[in-house]
Amino acid sequence: MLNANWNFDNSYARLPERFFTRIHPTPVSDPELVMLNRSLAEELGLNVEALASEEGVAVFAGNHIPEGAEPLAQAYAGHQFGYFNMLGDGRAILLGEHVNSNGERVDIQLKGSGRTPYSRGGDGRAALGPMLREYIISEAMHALRIPTTRSLAVVTTGEVVIRETELRGAILTRVAASHLRVGTFQYAARFLSKEELQTLADYAIKRHYPNGEHASNRYLFLLEEVMKKQAALVAKWQLVGFIHGVMNTDNMTISGETIDYGPCAFMDVYDPKTVFSSIDTQGRYAYGNQPYIAGWNIARFAESLLPLFHDEEEKAIELAQEVIAPFPTLYETYWLKGMRAKLGLCTEEEEDKKLIGELLHLMHTHRADYTNTFRALTLDEWNFSEKEFRDWHTRWQQRIARQDMKKEEVYEFMRQNNPAIVPRNYRVEEALAAAEQGDNTVMERLLYVLSAPYAYTKEQDEYAKPPAPSDRPYRTFCGT
- Which secondary-structure segment (H or E) carries 110? strand 105-111
Cα–Cα distance measured from residue 435 to residue 168, given in angstroms and rounded to the nearest whole number? 11
Q: Which three-class secondary structure state does DSSP give residue 157?
A: strand
CA atoms within 13 A on the CB side of 259: 24
DSSP states of 7-55: -B--SGGGS-GGGEEE-PPPP-SS-EEEEE-HHHHHHTT--HHHHTSHH
Q: Where are the beta strands (DSSP E) in 201-246?
A: 242-243
Q: How far is CA 53 from CA 19, 132, 152, 272, in A?
A: 34, 20, 14, 46
- Beta-bridge mates of residue 106: 98
CA distances from 455 to 38, 225, 372, 412, 427 (A): 21, 33, 15, 11, 19
Question: Which residues, 6+ apart, have CB-to-CB distance to 117 below 8 Å?
Answer: 21, 23, 73, 88
Q: What is the rounded CA–CA span in Å between residue 118 and residue 21? A: 9
Nearest-angstrom CA–CA distance, 274 and 265 = 10
Which residue among 89, 107, 250, 280 is the active-site one?
Answer: 250
Asked about 250 being catalytic, the answer comes back as yes
Query: What DSSP character marks residue 163?
Result: S
Output DSSP code: residue 138.
H
Catalytic residues: 250
